[in-house]
Amino acid sequence: MDSRLEDINKLLINYSLGKFDFKIDPSSKFDEIDAFIVNIHMLGEELQSSTISKDYFNNIFHSISDKLFVLDNAGIINDVNRAVTEKLGYELDDVKGLPIDSLAGNAGQFGTYVLKAMHSADDIVRWESIFYTAKNEAMPVLCSCSHLYNQSKEQIGYLLSARDISNIKKFEKTLIESEKKYRNIFEKSSDCLFLIDVNGNFLDLNVAGYEMFKLSNAKLSTTPFFNLILDGNEKDAFLKELCEKKQVIDYKLKIKVNRKSIIDCLVSASCMNNEKGVTIGYQGIVKDVTKQKSLENLVIRTIMDTQEQERKRIARDLHDSLGQQLSAIKFYLGSLESMKATTKKIKYEEILSKSNNALSDVIKELSAISFNIMPGTLQNFGVGQAIKELCHKRELSDLMLFNVDIDSNFVIEDKAIEITLFRIAQEFINNSIKYSGAKKICIAMQLDTRQNLIKAMLRDDGKGFELEKMLLTKGNGLKNMRSRVESHNGVLKIETSSGKGTAYDIMIPYKRGKNEKIKNTDNR
């Protein structure tokens, strides 16, 4: 037997073991056996090339993080990659021969989408599904399916890829929840919230916005926000600042809501940009401050009226008291000049005595007027001594009983707060004497160092009054007092009713000259 046949046998054995580098040299005969050896070598090279490609494919197949399934034309699993084992917990033997729908949440879904893929020009179809792990845990996946063909271009099955989209679904859920919260806040806000494009056309508007602007859905689409701004110059200035700074806060604008109504507003807005940083619109909030401005104007008018009344009172005191007294003194002194030299000395003395007494009264009256305007005691010795002096004077002149409890250590460095406390006490005493018929007034003040509060309590035993009715009609004095206290971030609480006297409770934050705001829980 030809020895070359034995070598061919060894060559085939090595090829069967995957040793494609094993070779035998042809003889010098160049006959059929040598030709057969050459053909076997060519087969080995093809097998080697095919094996390398298969290994290369397997490496890619198993290194992909998505779960891959090789299916036949009926959707039966023939092979899976390593991701199926690692992420779903199935070995190939567990799922081989099973329909792919046995792993999915909706049976028959694969068949539905494959049927769609058969009519798809792209030859690829995608859908979302649920795969269940070996532990029966649900995993949302995005499926992609494409056809597999053999060398003859015959369809032999499908390659299905399943990508885990659990994190995406969680993110989508968070986005949906955030959008719901935003929409809830957007719709329930008592202030107008808006979204507009760069031309001012409304993209979205909450309920409060519809009510504020008095717009219907039809008018909303034809009424740009910028056209609602009353003054064209204000609109231009607003847009310029918004474009330059990308944000404006509490910009004062007048908005026309119809032909007759104009509201004062504070507008805050910021730019909305796309992914390239280009401004595509604006979002903002509009606060109607018409009532607030009216209230501020009322407070200003009240203060001005109070100042005017005080001027009139001072003028009246100067005219009715000092004016008459000084006229009398002038008369007395004038009579001395007209007297003849023969007039008795006693007559001179009588006139001089009257003039002297009148001058004393003038000095007292001037002192009283000065005290009412600004007590020197307040400037020099503090509000405690000033109130005590005020009560002492009124006690003597009006026969009113006062109970003043202000410690000598009650010292406030802030003169503005001292003036506020004094004026409120002065107003309270005047009202009690003039209107309430009170017989006794109690005033107490203390500095609470633990809470950093100035506390003042004013009480009378008079007939009281209806607070709500007073505030609605002629309660400018009460509003003025409250404004004084609130200007120091304080609270003035008033309790009164007919026949039960009146009580004022004042709390003003105070700590080394720094005020801290107090929350006012009293509706009055």
pLDDT digits (tens, 9 = 90+) for 401-414: 999 998 877 888 88
CATH number, domain with residue 144: 3.30.450.20
Q: Flag whether pLDDT at 234 surpasses 60.
A: yes
Strand order, beta sheet including 124-132 = 77-80, 67-71, 155-164, 138-149, 124-132
Residues β-bridged to residue 504: 458, 494
What pLDDT sits at residue 220?
Answer: 82
Burial zone of 145 (CB within 10 Å; 0-12 exposed, 13-18 middle, 19+ buried): buried
Strands 491-496 and 453-460: unpaired
Q: Is the dihedral of CA 469, 473, 478, 479 positive or negative?
A: positive
Q: Does residue 183 lie in a domain region? A: no
What pLDDT sits at residue 313?
Answer: 66
Q: Verify that 386 and 514 share a domain, yes or no.
A: yes
User: CA-to-CA distance for 17 and 35, rounded, in angstroms?
Assistant: 23
Q: Does residue 147 lie in a domain region? A: yes
Query: Largest Cα–Cα distance of the chain, in whole Å?
Result: 189
User: CA-to-CA distance for 88 and 83, rounded, in angstroms?
Assistant: 8
Burial zone of 237 (CB within 10 Å; 0-12 exposed, 13-18 middle, 19+ buried): middle
Q: Which residue has the higher pLDDT, 106 or 226?
A: 226
Q: Which residue has the higher pLDDT, 152 or 302?
A: 152
Q: Verify that 262 and 322 share a domain, yes or no.
A: no
What pLDDT sits at residue 508?
Answer: 92
What pLDDT sits at residue 436?
Answer: 85
125-147 confidence digits (pLDDT tens) = 778 888 889 898 989 988 888 88
Q: Verify that 280 and 317 share a domain, yes or no.
A: no
Please state the pTM of the whole predicted model. 0.40
Number of domains within the chain:
5
What pLDDT sits at residue 198?
Answer: 92
Q: Verify that 103 and 56 share a domain, yes or no.
A: no
Domain final residue, candidates 35, 60, 85: 60
**Averaged pLDDT for residues 111-131:** 68
Residues 88 and 112 sit within 8 Å (Cβ to Cβ): no
The DSSP code for 76 is B
H-type helices in 202-269, by residue range? 207-213, 217-220, 232-245
Domain final residue, candidates 258, 288, 318: 288
**Averaged pLDDT for residues 193-205:** 92
Q: Does residue 80 lie in a domain region? A: yes
Provide the pLDDT confidence category of residue 262 given band limits of 50, 70 and 90: confident
Q: Verify that 24 and 140 share a domain, yes or no.
A: no
Q: Which residue has the higher pLDDT, 29 or 203?
A: 203
Q: Which residue has the higher pLDDT, 434 or 298?
A: 434
Q: Please provide the average confidence, as pLDDT, over all residues in the chain.
A: 78
432, amino acid identity: S
Which range, of 169-173, 274-278, 308-312, 477-481, averages the lowest pLDDT? 308-312
Q: Verify that 52 and 133 share a domain, yes or no.
A: no
Q: Verify that 40 and 53 share a domain, yes or no.
A: yes
User: 364: domain range?
Assistant: 291-373
**Averaged pLDDT for residues 152-159:** 84
Q: Flag whether pLDDT at 459 surpasses 90.
A: yes
**Averaged pLDDT for residues 12-34:** 69
Q: Verify that 383 and 517 share a domain, yes or no.
A: yes
**Averaged pLDDT for residues 472-477:** 61
Provide the pLDDT confidence category of residue 297 given band limits of 50, 70 and 90: low
What pLDDT sits at residue 217?
Answer: 80
Which range, of 55-69, 274-288, 335-349, averages the lowest pLDDT? 335-349
Domain final residue, candidates 373, 392, 421: 373
Q: Which residue has the higher pLDDT, 490 or 119?
A: 490
Which range, of 157-171, 259-273, 311-325, 409-423, averages the lowest pLDDT? 311-325
